[in-house]
Copies of this chain bind each other. A is one copy, B any other.
Amino acid sequence: MTTTLIAPQRFSPSASDESLPLLLKPFTGEVMNRPPVWFMRQAGRYMEEYRAIRSKVSFLELCKNPELSAEVSLQPWQAFHTDAVIMFCDILIPPEAMGMALDFTDHGPVFANPLRSAAQVDALRVPDPQESMPFVMDLIRRLRCELAGSPETALIGFAGAPWTLACYMIEGGTSKNFRHIKAWMYEDPASLHRLLDKLADTVIVYLNAQIAAGAQMVQLFDTWGGLLDEHGYRTFIMPYQKKVLDGLNRTQAPAVLYMNNGAHVLSAVLETTPDGLSVDDRTSLISLRSLANDSGQTGLVLQGNLDPIAMLSRPEVLKPLVQANLKTGGNTNYIFNVGHGLIPQTPPDNVKRVVEWIRSGELTTG
């Protein structure tokens, strides 16, 4: 019996590649004067320009209209000069394409028929993204066209991780105690694993389609990835993060794993070997860097992790917080971001300020 080791694909750009947009330079390992900067949920309700468009169309209509979603995607880049544009979409678009009726209410997303039986899992299809979600790839191509004159700006695609998608699909929306998915976990783990595996297959083809359409980096969002203890993480969450990460065309675009609330399972998270790891503000970047180095992942790009609530502060309070974050991030293998999505109360002027402080180089790194 022989063991076949398939080395996972890793994004490994050349530092001498002058055409590399700034967002991707941290993956070369070169020392940088300042990190790239973008914000999770950088397009959204806190921007007046976004609200103007949303007053005319529903959230789902916006997601499915490439002309409008392109406009919204570009708004923060135009207003604040972020180093990246992230496509405007929702992580629940693929579950809808798998066969689940989706709606967005004032209280968040709602699946009219949440998954509550193994038969429902079997009935879900692994959708062909080109057929069932063509508007996403259309959006990506449009955005690359719009950005053609700005090669220093990178375009980011994304998807929800299997566990987080399963949480929404089983709970039917946001949840206080996740009792339905946990019931499955305890009562019928085999069906839950089947669902998670199907979701991983779905996400792999979806993200690879995004990369093929022109996404220059992809981010896998595991918003509820920190819900369980380490044993639970290793059983139900990590294997599907890793399956997705291992299935992506990462020589073409780096894959960043966003792990929320996972400060208690960082060693295990590192075993998924993403190109980049994006963490929330409860995680110390210094501890994480140290753990990554200890595990041999010296080139791992860290992304984060300013508390998005800090973005609501007065400029004189905010500036040292951004400075402190840059210090912990370091002068290489690091992308500045918030630890969680910007909230609707964020003052747009603060987003503008943070980008300016970082771009100008007046804040020091490392």
Contacts and interface: CB of A to CB of B under 8 A. Distances in A.
B263 A310 contact: no
Contacts of A307: 182
Interface stretch (A1-9, A124-132, A276-284, A291-299): A276-284
A280 to B, nearest CB: 9
Contacts of A261: 261
A282 B228 contact: yes
B183 A309 contact: yes
How big is chain A's contact interface, by range?
20 to 34
Contact of A281 (B229, B308, B321): B229
The A interface, classified by DSSP as helix, strand, loop or mixed, is: loop
Given A179-B345, A345-B179, A283 B264 contact: yes
B309 A178 contact: yes
Most buried by B among A179, A310, A318: A179
Interface in A153-195: 177-179, 182-183, 186-187
A142 B220 CA distance: 56
Contact of A314 (B177, B187, B321): B187
B229 A183 contact: no
A296 to B, nearest CB: 23
